[in-house]
Amino acid sequence: MMTEPLPPIEIQPRDLSPYRAGNTGIDYVHRFDSGRPGPHVMINALTHGNEFCGMVAATHLLDAGVRPLIGTLTVSFANVAAYASFDPAQPFESRQLVHNMNRIWSAAHLDGDEASPELVRARQMRPAVAAADHILDIHSTSRDVSPFWVYPQFQRNVAAAMALGRPSVHLVMPQGMGTGTPLTQHGAHGSASFHGVGLVVECGQHFKRSTADFAIGATLDFLAHFGLVAPRPRADAPQRRYELLQTWVVRTPGFRFTRPLVGFESFAQGELIATDGHDEIRAPCDECTVLMPARLPIVGREGVYLTRPLR
């Protein structure tokens, strides 16, 4: 497989040690109570260590002294250990140290005997995540594609993402990720009967300045939607929604796409998308749209998401 050139690093990591102490008893978790009735909203950054846009958005809130008009605001930095391992010569390696921190938020993982930096950190953060009504988890993508939402197909999530309007692209998951439990589905947030919204916002390519700018805007939009900051203009753009059909996890070192992909390419039913050893990954429907194709496929990690447009 050909090695792709590394993208420019337009966002540089910064020292997060001044944000470590917080005020919750959990490192890198900050909470601000308005003293007025209202929802508890959590803005979470750095679930993956090389997704710098969340760091920029979270530090913006803290540096600017943003305080909730109603309810409670929590601002958190998750996988700080992976973030601290960043090497500009290998900028994709600091995504995680051992576990994908966005797949381990189940009781089986958090109450189990296994140990890793990500599990230790998730166990530390567990009370803060469980306390929130609404969660925005800020992410970015290895490929340079338009920003999009990712969320379980609970009506509360659909309604919030559609009301926000920006980004205008949605990845809807009827059955979850299929490869683990994300932070936004931890505990009660994974229940259809819960009231709280849990959204992931994918803001663009990891290291682009525009991605960080989008993350700041999406964060303020989310807070404004729940009344924690002043209202902001809604983006009035046509909404495009995709339903997740299958998450393909790479099985062999021989995984190959049939052609270069960056995301949002469409395939006809039965068309060959990739091969993985002896396995063929074919489009299960017409207009099958691929999202988040792996830049460098790694055995045991997601290789591609197969979706269909929702009309």
Ranking 66-70, 142-146, 152-156, 232-236 by mean pLDDT, the lowest is: 232-236
Q: Can you tell me the distance from the alpha carbon of 44 to that of 54, in angstroms, rounded to the nearest whole number?
A: 7
Q: What is the mean pLDDT of residues 209-216?
A: 98
CB atoms within 10 A of CB 287: 13
The angle subtended at Cα 78 by Cα 76 and Cα 84, nearest 5°, is 120
pLDDT over 90 (residue 200)? yes
The torsion angle over the Cα atoms of residues 197, 34, 167 and 77, rounded to 10 degrees, is -80
Reported as a single tens digit per residue, the pLDDT across 251-289 is 999 999 999 999 999 999 999 999 999 999 999 999 999
pTM above 0.85, yes or no: yes
Q: Decide if 250 contacts 274 (C-beta within 8 A).
A: no
Q: Decide if 308 contacts 287 (C-beta within 8 A).
A: yes
pLDDT over 60 (residue 2)? no
Q: Which amino acid is at 268?
A: A
Quote the pLDDT of residue 308.
97
pLDDT over 90 (residue 175)? no
Q: Can you tell me the distance from the alpha carbon of 223 to that of 149, in angstroms, rounded to the nearest whole number?
A: 16
User: What is the DSSP pairing of strand 272-276 with strand 279-282?
Assistant: antiparallel
Q: Can you tell me the distance from the alpha carbon of 80 to that of 27, in angstroms, rounded to the nearest whole number?
A: 10
Quote the pLDDT of residue 3.
67
Give the dihedral sign, CA 213/216/222/224: negative
Q: Can you tell me the distance from the alpha carbon of 65 to that of 63, in angstroms, rounded to the nearest whole number?
A: 5
Q: What is the mean pLDDT of residues 3-23?
A: 93
CATH label, 17-225, candidates 3.40.630.10, 3.30.750.210, 3.40.50.300, 3.40.50.1260: 3.40.630.10
Write down the domain spans for the chain.
17-225, 241-310
**What CATH number is given for 241-310 in this structure?**
2.40.50.630
Quote the pLDDT of residue 178.
84
Q: Can you tell me the distance from the alpha carbon of 26 to that of 213, in angstroms, rounded to the nearest whole number?
A: 27
Q: Decide if 160 contacts 118 (C-beta within 8 A).
A: no
CB atoms within 10 A of CB 159: 11
**Adjacent-strand bridge partners of 141:** 205
